[in-house]
Structure 1
Amino acid sequence: MFDWSQQRLLVIAPHPDDETLGCGGLMHKAKAAGAQVYVQFLTVGDTADVSDKGFSTASERVAEVKAVADYFRWDDWHIAYPGDEFHLRLDALPRFELANTIEHASPLSIAAVKPTVVLAPHRTSYNQDHQAAAEAVLTALRPSDAGRRHHPGLVLAYEEAADQWRDQAVCAPNALVELTGADVDAKLAGMRLYGSQVHDHPHTRSELTLRSLAVLRGMQGGVAFAEGYHAMRWLT
């Protein structure tokens, strides 16, 4: 069994809420075991939502992040590219710049945090920011001399319910992390703190969708609940 208590996790999230949707259960599980958890957001800006006014400002979304960070007890978090200039436009940034930020330019870069586990979005997402982030993480974690650059032993791509919306087949997750009922409840509670982003069912960010996906992945592993991941590197 993997010992989460000894790990230092770095979660790369294109936008606030992606980290909770993709690995909220694992973050809760790891912190409860004694791990360190750091979250590197890439961008946030004014966002259309289901509120009465129809959008949330960047400052309102940052306030949500603060509440979620306190709830999950993150060790630290940071937003690399705040503002509408970058929000939903990460694909316009040169790959070199985005990868460089993730690799060593950010205060929560791979070089600064030296994580043992990196969690990032999967490249099959339809969202252009997720695709750009996933490709940049692959570049930042490219194989090289581990004596010269930090090499996390475990690199996982997390999934979100809408990632399957593609014009080509998407492989099922090849790594499952077992969750307790408390881990799933914590994931849902964390998502509720993103009040501007959570939706009623049917929606990819509804509580029923998130719980159902946890049940499905759990069934595939022979347990009650799980989160699915694609293992990009697993060095034992």
Structure 2
Amino acid sequence: MTTDWSQERILVYAPHPDDEMLGCGGLISKAKAAGAEVFVQFLTVGDTADLSPKGFSTAEERYAEIKKVADHFRWDDWHMAFPGDQYHLRLDSVARVDLTQLIERESPLAVERIRPTVVLTPHRASYNQDHQATAEAVHTALRPSNAALRHHPRLVLAYEEAADHWRSEPLCPPNLVVELDEAQMADKLHGMELYGSQHHQHPHTRSEATLRSLAVLRGMQAGVALGEGFHVLRCLA
């Protein structure tokens, strides 16, 4: 399967700022360089206690990081759906119908408004409740229907993050690999550096070594040097 990314309008769903870089930063870099349109729909962000030297990150810091990443990758637009501590790490408390309606038609970046050709979403296997809630809502929003009445993206892919593999049941390997070159890999790593509050030293699931190691593994499985793995949810050829 060869994709001419220059012809695509890509809508990425990221539960939190940095998930889009971890899961598909290389694809975003590759597609934008080819001339694609890229839109990023974040679901939530808030103040968070963490294991960084400072011990926390704030929503204000995260917004500043988003702007740096958006400018670097030349996103066509981005939007935060549910800002604030009421929702951050609590998306599982939001009714799926509310999340689905936002994705379908209520957000400025709703499917019916953007009419993407490609949708990238987190994988539902994540241990993180916000990732699970996002994945399930996107899956519901893109359910099969009459394409004459509702927009159907041609390609729907679930991206992976290294931390997704922390599961008691085995997670099937991705069934689609997007080849990356060194420049696209470097762009992905730089994007994570711009998310300074979320970037960690190795060993950590968000370290440079982890991201590169996963890209090497996925590339090897496809017979190339570097790659990003995806699970195909829909592919209309």
Q: Shift in Å at residue 50 of structure 1?
A: 4.3
Q: How far 1:49 moved relative to its partner?
A: 3.3
1:1-236 map, 5 Å = 1-236=2-237
Q: State the secondary structure of the residue aligned to 1:115.
A: coil
The root-mean-square deviation of aligned C-alpha atoms, in Å, is 0.7
| Aligned mates of 1:104, 1:143 — CA distance in 2 | 16
CA contact (8 A) 1:45 1:58 kept: yes
- Cα deviation digits, residues 93-137 of structure 1 (max 9, x gap): 000000111111100011111000000000000000000000000
Taking structure 1 as the reference length, the TM-score comes to 0.99
CA distance in 1, matches of 2:54, 2:193: 19
- Report the alpha carbon displacement of residue 57 of structure 1 after superposing the two structures with TM: 1.0
Q: Kindly indicate whether the alpha-carbon contact (under 8 Å) linking 1:10 and 1:117 is maintained by their aligned counterparts in 2.
A: yes
Percent identity over the alignment is: 69
User: 1:49 touches 1:197 (CA, 8 Å); kept in 2?
Assistant: no
Conserved? CA contact 1:23–1:158, under 8 Å: yes
SS at 1:64 equivalent: helix
Q: Aligned with 1:163: secondary structure?
A: helix
SS in 2 for 1:145: coil
Q: Unpaired segments of 5 or more residues in structure 2?
A: none
Secondary structure of the equivalent of 1:227? strand
How far did residue 147 of structure 1 move? 0.6
- Partners of 1:169 and 1:51 lie apart in 2 by 30
Q: Kindly tell me the number of residue pairs found equivalent between the two proteins.
A: 236
Displacement of 1:140 in angstroms is 0.3
Distance 2:53 2:120 in 1: 34
Q: Displacement, 1:222?
A: 0.4
Give the secondary-structure state (helix, strand or coil) at the position aligned to 1:11. strand
Following TM superposition, by how much is the alpha carbon of 1:48 offset from its aligned partner in structure 2, in angstroms?
Answer: 2.1
Unaligned runs of 5+ residues in structure 1 are none
Question: How far does residue 56 in structure 1 lie from its aligned partner after superposition?
Answer: 1.3
